[in-house]
Each structure stands twice: as structure tokens, then as C-alpha cells.
Chains A and B, each alone.
Chain A
Amino acid sequence: MSATMSGKQNMKFLYAGIAIALMISVLAPFLASSDPDGLESAAFGVIDEAKMAAMEELAPVFESPMPDYAIEGMGKTGEVMAIVIGTLIVLAIGFGLGKVMKK
């Protein structure tokens, strides 16, 4: 496959990737399980409640603008927006950084 040919094909891959990523971003707040993940679940199983509560009380090192993939007071719409924004940020940085770093 020639370079220009695979270049065009790769742009198609990018568009398909963006479409799939955005589709997942929009659906995730509705489909994702709210159960704790493996690490949290293990923590609840092995750490006693008092210690766990004390750990959760600790102030975060950094104030994130959209903690837990949500925008305060915006419910599911906010969650969709948060994940879509995150996907676009990663996409932009991935593309930009890739362009800067490439040979």
C-alpha cells in the first residue's frame, strides 16, 4: 500500500475511531455500571470502615473541574458532556502531541 493511500485510509480510521469513541461517550452514563470497580471493591472488602472513611475524607491533591465524570447540577446531561469533553481533549492532545513528536 502506497504512503498516500494508507494515509487516506488512516484518516478514515480516525473518523471511524472518533465516531465510535463519541458513541461510547454518549451511551456510557446510561450503560455503565455504578458498582465500585475492582480496586474499590477490594478496598471495601479488606479495609475496615473507620479507616476507609478517614481515607475518603482526605482532601484531593488537585481540584478537578469535573470530578467523577460529572458536571455539578447537570445530571445525566452533564455526565454525557463530561465524557464527550474528555474524549475530545484526549483526541486533540493525542493528535497534537503525535504531530509534535513524530519523526
Chain B
Amino acid sequence: MHIPDSFMPLTQALVYWVIALPFIFLSVRWARKELDDTKVPILAALAAGIFAIQALNIPIGMGTSGHMVGAALVAIIFGSPMAGVLVLTLVLLVQGFVFADGGITVMGANILNMGVISGFVGYYAFVALRKNKLSISVSSFIGAWLGLFVSALATAVEMYIAGTFPLVAGLTMMGLYHLIIGFVGEGLITAIVITAIGKSRPDLLENSFLNPDQMGVIA
């Protein structure tokens, strides 16, 4: 879902930077408040793993493929969508500058879509489902899947405003493809990783949902 520079006029690309920057700022503030020496290795491992898995495109049929985004996964583990914004900003910076994956001027839009929207929707859907007593694996699956789907729809609307996609056809195709990508690439992988961490390191997930006082609070 990495928008290339050619898909969006510069003025609009700058508008998305303006929207994304406060979130990036808040994610840095989150790190200053929440990160300590013991949590830095977790953040670094997740960032490296998400960069790698984003290079692994999964075929979904219809001559199309897709990959995981990972913002919801990071947000669930750290108990804050700001952690997802931070990791995705870092990953998108390296992808854009070193590998020409996703544009430079449109990076603000890509950070907004993949870091902010997929992470916030994914995380708060997860929290809502957990509050309704759904299991960790089901909540993380649905949350991550929904996060990716909504961010794909947002991307389609941005592409319409940019004059690149027609509205209905763009929404339909982006929605259809990412419904499937979100199911396999985002939902399944997120649920597997969260379940594995829940079994091996339940203490890591304390912020997310084991402690009811902190549920859904932006740290």
C-alpha cells in the first residue's frame, strides 16, 4: 500500500505531512515517557521484523499480492498506537530513502495510512473486542484485519482527491484486495505473533489488556 510520489500532487502530499507530523511528534513523546532500557530491545526487534516481513508479498489471487503492515501488532504489544506510529515511521523512512518503496514527498500520507490509521483502528478495535471478552487471538486477528482494511479505504479516498483513482472503482478494488490481504497478511500473522508472545512472555502484554486500568489509554 506504499503510495509512490507520482500518484499524488506535491501540494496534497504536503497536507498529509502536516496531518502526520503531530502523530510522529506524539510517538516520540510516547517513547520518551514509556521506553526504558528493557523495552528498547523489544522495539528494535519488532522494527526489524516488520521491515523484513513487509518484503514478503503474499499472493492473494487476481494477479495481486500484499504484505503485512504491522502497526496494530506493535500497538497491541506496547499498549499504545503511538508505538505503531513510531515503528512504521522508521520502517517507511528506510523503505522510501534506501529502497524507493513508497515515495518521499508522499511519505506523510504513507505514515498516516499505515502508521496512524491502521495502528489506531487496529489497536482500538482490539481493545473493544477484549473488553467484550473475546479471546486475545480473535481480538488481535479482527483488530489487525480491520485496521488494514480501513487504511486501504483511506488510501483510496486520498487517491480520489489526488485525481489518480475514480472514487467508487478505487474504493471497490482497494477494499476488495485489502479485505483479503488483511485476512492473511495482517490478521493471521498478528494473531499468531500475539498468541505466541502471550504464551511465552505474558508480561510483555501487560499494558495492553491484562491490566484493566490501562485498557485503551494512550500512554
Interface residues, chain A, with chain B CB atoms under 8 Å away: 1, 3, 6-7, 9-11, 13-14, 16-18, 20-22, 24-25, 27-28, 31-39, 41-43, 45-47, 55-56, 58, 60-62, 64-69, 82-83, 85-91, 93-95, 97-99, 101-103
Q: Assuming the A-B contacts A42-B165, A55-B6, A58-B5, are A33 and B59 also in contact, with contact meaning beta carbons closer than 8 angstroms in the complex?
A: yes
Chain A residues near B26 (CB-CB < 8 A) = none
Contact A1 B1 (CB under 8 A): no
Interface residues, chain B, with chain A CB atoms under 8 Å away: 1-3, 5-7, 28, 31-53, 55-60, 62-67, 87, 90-91, 94-101, 103-105, 152, 155-156, 164-166, 169-170, 173-174, 177-178, 181, 201, 203-204
Kindly identify which residue among A58, A83, A98, A103 contacts B44, using a CB–CB cutoff of 8 Å: A98
Q: List 8 A-B contacts (CB under 8 A).
A: A13-B204, A33-B59, A38-B178, A47-B165, A60-B104, A68-B99, A98-B31, A99-B37
Kindly identify which residue among A1, A46, A86, A90 contacts B170, using a CB–CB cutoff of 8 Å: A46
Kindly identify which residue among A55, A66, A94, A97 contacts B48, using a CB–CB cutoff of 8 Å: A94
Chain A residues near B164 (CB-CB < 8 A) = 43, 47
Chain A residues near B100 (CB-CB < 8 A) = 60, 62, 64, 67-68
Chain B residues near A22 (CB-CB < 8 A) = 52
Q: Is the interface of A mostly helix, strand, loop or mixed?
A: helix
Query: How long is the Cα–Cα vector from A3 to B150 in the complex, in angstroms?
Result: 38
Q: Assuming the A-B contacts A37-B67, A94-B87, are A25 and B52 also in contact, with contact meaning beta carbons closer than 8 angstroms in the complex?
A: yes
Kindly identify which residue among A24, A39, A60, A94 contacts B56, using a CB–CB cutoff of 8 Å: A24
Contact A64 B99 (CB under 8 A): yes
Tell which of B41, B48, B63, B156 has the most Cβ of chain A within 10 Å.
B48
Please name 7 further chain A to chain B contacts, defined as beta carbons within 8 Å, in addition to the given A42-B165, A60-B104, A95-B44, sorted by A numbering. Answer: A37-B65, A37-B66, A41-B63, A65-B98, A89-B94, A89-B98, A91-B47
A20 to chain B, nearest CB (A): 6
